[in-house]
Amino acid sequence: MLHGLTVLPVAISVLDKSARMPQPKILNVVLAGITHADSLLLIKRRKPPYAGHWGLVGGKMEFGESVAQAAEREAREETQLPAKFRRVKGVVNENLIDDGRIVGHFVIFVCQLVADHTDHQASDEGELRWFTRDELAANREHIIPTDYRMIQTMLLRDEGDIPFAEASMREDAGRYEVLRFDVQPPAQPET
């Protein structure tokens, strides 16, 4: 006992740097490609990273949320639009590098959402604006570079969807049981 506290012996190997240095987290992020007619809604970010650049609406997933729930929540929080999740259009593993060091690591679910109307409201996150395909190309230098590539290679592509599933498993004393493995259905043509 030391000053009324129980001291437990802890061994830290000098070779095990992870025991001494906390490991940065990988953030799971949803980006919501919100469309209406032939336009895509972008947000001009106010906060770092990417302050002053246009990008897709989105943010961090919350514990226990599905990708669809997170995308719809982020859309509602940042735009006040009731946008409906359609599908995952791509998944990106992105590292943000500054001065040769990885300062951010994101697994990004690029989602397509459809808005019933265009009456959005800006939030603390930034200014909102609808862009046509031509306006996206004309403003490329003002759009977050990886967001621009995600828009071009994932959101605006017409070919088939990527396979995607929502899954849940239960572990009980070393035994695992699949509770849910729902493969995203193919997109239905819009009418």
Rounded mean pLDDT, 64-90: 94
Q: Indicate yes or no: pTM above 0.85.
A: no
Rounded mean pLDDT, 171-185: 67
- CATH value of 23-183 in 3.40.50.2300, 3.40.50.360, 3.90.79.10, 3.90.1150.10: 3.90.79.10
Q: Residue 22 above 50 pLDDT?
A: yes
DSSP-assigned states of every residue in 25-74:
PPEEEEEEEEEETTEEEEEEE-SSSSTTSEEEEEEEPPTT--HHHHHHHH
For residue 160, what pLDDT band results from cuts at 50, 70 and 90? low
The domain ranges of the chain are 23-183
146/154 Cα distance (integer angstroms): 11
